[in-house]
Chains A and B, each alone.
Chain A
Amino acid sequence: MRKWFRMTGSQLGLAGVGLGVFLLLLVMVFSATSAEAAPPSQGDQPTDEFCLGCHQQEGMTAEIGGEPISVSIDPQLFEESVHGTEDIACVDCHSNITDFPHPEVTASSPRDFSLELYPTCQQCHLEQYESTLDSVHQDELAAGNINAAVCTDCHNPHTQTRITDNDTGELLPEARVAVPLACAQCHSTIYDTYQTSVHGIALTEGDPNVPTCTDCHGVHDIQSPATNSFRNSIPALCADCHTDEDRMAQYGLHTNVLDTYVADFHGTTVKMFEENFPDQPTNTAVCTDCHGYHDILEVNHPDAGIAFKQNLLVKCQQCHPDATTDTFTDSWLGHYEPSPQVFPLVFFVNLFYTIFIPLVLGGMILFVLTDVYRRFIVRRAPAAPATPAEGETNE
């Protein structure tokens, strides 16, 4: 009898706070015990201390659909997490739990439980939540792939520390370094590759300039990198950092990489293409086709650096399989601006036309102007007795 009433009180309490309080009081009366024995609460909600009373035990588990799930919370980690420091209570997210025993879990598996619960995040993080709705992860989820990441897969709500600076809103350095670890949970092989890349190595060493996963792929509205539009946008993406004078100066890298790319065969095509048909496929090389993407190396890397002709030729052959001599690689200016020292032939051809075109055109214009002068100005001038005489002589 008592149990029946207690259960009813809990369930109805979810439906309405006022009614809940009322019924809770009723339960107390029926159970005929002292008020101090009631769960310590904030209003009718259990406090974190109350929850942690049980859940701080290490190795505490529960079962959802026959699969074990850890239900232990490290109070220390939670305390230090952004939710802990912002005084977010357990029941703010686990809002259906008001007491023990907990209401029955309807999820069919631990994953199902996460998928049921994660929309709770939008209570506070609406902007980020809505952004994820446009992401490839959400598309996958909608297509039935339950492994696709949701909020809590990247941000463990019980341990996630602050990611952005509270004042500036910028990503904190330690959070940037940690980003690949979040992605690696599902994309471990890509992570392994990235870790060996010039960017990955530097990031691990704490370099604040190099791109972490989210710099190229975006944060919440992560798009599929396999689309045409993503491929077509790659030059602009890389150029974001690689045309930044201050940043590149730290590594002795030139910032003319985009300009020289656009000026060369591939870049001209991609640029024109991207402007008109950003979502159509093109097989013209973009940055990543030669430099790689997750495995980007320094160009003078001793093993596979593409500053070495034989390594570059391999890249050329991806699209130009007939190219078998490494003289072909010199047809690509390698992001150099021609000068008397580097690609002198190109430099002098350009120089020739820079001089020759104005010279020829200047001569022509000069001649035409004198002709205009004689034909249309002198001849029409009233006092010009010499010219009509010319017509007479021809007669």
Chain B
Amino acid sequence: MSDHLTRTYERFPLARRIEHWVMMLSFVTLALTGLPQKFSASAISIAFVGMLGGIETLRIIHHIAAIVMMLGTAWHLLVFGYLAYVRRTRMTMLPTLQDAKDGWRALMHNIGRAESPPQMGRYTFEEKMEYWAFVWGAIIMGITGFMMWNPITTARFLPGEVIPAAKAAHGGEALLAVLAIIVWHMYGVHIKRLNKSMFTGKMTEEEMLHEHPLELADIKAGMAEPVLDPAAVRKRQRIYLPVATVLALFMLLGVYGFVNAETTALTTIERQAPTQVVFVPWTPTPAPTLTPTAEGAVPVPSGPLTWDDTIGPMLQAKCSTCHGATALGGLDLSTYESAMQGGASGPAILPGDSANSLLVTVQQAGDHPGQLTPEELAQVIEWIDAGAPEN
């Protein structure tokens, strides 16, 4: 008994297993690099993106994984063509009405409303559901992915609105696929019973008995594989090889076009840093012209050299801003009396002694903020030497 129960049957040849692992890896990579883009506001996404070296790197990885998946799909189609046309393999993956009945019966059995579980063939309704969900997903993701990858090309043929719609569908479908894998695939293949056939390629007779009893029966009856005429197979091989080559080339070309249709949608041209000249002073304030007092703007008074006639008005005009009522330095030159009194530094005017009069020495030094013209100063000196008469 135990002998025939431990007998194994090949379920997946190595090539199919490699195909599965390649698709699995690209799927996981796509999910891990895609979902953070869908949920970009989440802290987990941000941390994950940072870990991978940024959103640009993330997208490059996502695109590479997408290319791998496209190539895997192309390979799958070629293998399908080979099995269907050359090997005349039975279309055991096609969904039938029986699958719906099996599903219903499984549900009824689970809740105790059916005596036994459904008896199923090579692919159970659960497996077919997953396979066709993947086909559906691949089509949706491929089309919408193309639209996002090549928005300019897409907008040439379709309204621009399909691009954000494609983004919405890509994200929605992704979420659906990931959740379905987690719930359906994880439970069905890993949790309810660890199905190792994708690792070993084999199933024991006991496993076959539980999961694929109809296939086991077919195998035992020699009906699982069609009886092939080797000559006919070789003939079909000769036909299929060139067809497959052309198909493969077209599909590779398709992938190439997918990836390279346009460049500026993904790698946009560099932003030009603003090259504006920033320092443009606003109509510069005109530089002030020097105080005109030194240039004799006030005409030199003429007349007798007395305070009242000439010197007083002259000093009034030239000096009174500082040495008037405000009496800067104590010197007030607005009246004869205050002028003769002098300021904090001493008498400004020493009658008859212009050489020692501060008014003259300060002016002669030449660095006083208010300067008399040489003519005016000459008049002042002459006036002082004449005894500085008031009138």
- Number of residues of chain B lying within 8 A (CB) of chain A: 88
Q: Which DSSP category, helix, strand, loop or mixed, fits chain A's interface?
A: helix
- Evaluate contact between A349 and B169: CB separation under 8 angstroms: yes
Interface bits B44-62 vs A (CB < 8 Å: 1, else 0): 0110011000111010000
| Given A289-B271, A346-B164, A357-B175, also A371-B342 (CB < 8 A) | no
| B369 in the interface (beta carbon within 8 A) | yes
| A39 in the interface (beta carbon within 8 A) | yes
List the B side residues contacting A225 at CB < 8 Å.
Answer: 274
| A101 in the interface (beta carbon within 8 A) | yes
B55, B155, B282, B290: the one contacting A273 at CB < 8 Å is B55
- Evaluate contact between B264 and A394: CB separation under 8 angstroms: no
Q: Which one of B69-77, B110-118, B194-202, B299-307 is at the interface?
A: B110-118
Interface bits B167-192 vs A (CB < 8 Å: 1, else 0): 11101110110011001100100001
Interface Cβ pair total, 8 Å cutoff: 248
Which of B55, B156, B187, B329: most chain A CB closer than 10 A? Answer: B55
Within 8 A of B (CB), among A175-215: 184-191
Closest-CB distance, A327 to chain B (whole angstroms): 5
Task: Give Cα A390 to B160, complex, Å.
Answer: 59
- Evaluate contact between B162 and A371: CB separation under 8 angstroms: no
| B92 in the interface (beta carbon within 8 A) | no
Shortest Cβ distance from A283 into B: residue: B271
List the B side residues contacting A188 at CB < 8 Å.
Answer: 280-283
Shortest Cβ distance from B53 into A: residue: A276
| Given A320-B264, A321-B264, A374-B110, also A390-B277 (CB < 8 A) | no
Residues of A in contact with B, size category: 35 or more
Task: Give Cα A225 to B274, complex, Å.
Answer: 9
List the A side residues contacting B209 at CB < 8 Å.
Answer: 394
Question: Can you spell out 22 A-B residue pairs with CB atoms less than 8 angstroms apart?
Answer: A2-B346, A31-B346, A53-B328, A61-B290, A100-B328, A186-B282, A188-B280, A265-B167, A272-B49, A273-B55, A319-B268, A322-B263, A331-B155, A353-B168, A353-B171, A353-B172, A353-B176, A367-B103, A367-B106, A370-B110, A370-B111, A371-B192
A-B contact sample (17 more), CB < 8 A, given A60-B291, A61-B288, A68-B289: A59-B288, A61-B289, A68-B287, A184-B282, A186-B282, A272-B54, A275-B46, A276-B55, A320-B152, A331-B151, A331-B160, A331-B164, A345-B161, A346-B168, A357-B179, A361-B183, A395-B1
- Give chain A's interface residues, CB within 8 Å of chain B: 2, 6, 28, 31-33, 36-39, 49-50, 53-54, 57, 59-63, 67-70, 100-101, 147, 184-191, 225-226, 231, 262, 264-265, 268-269, 271-273, 275-277, 280-281, 283-284, 289, 318-323, 325, 327-333, 338, 343, 345-346, 349-350, 352-354, 356-357, 360-361, 364-365, 367-368, 370-375, 378, 390, 393-395
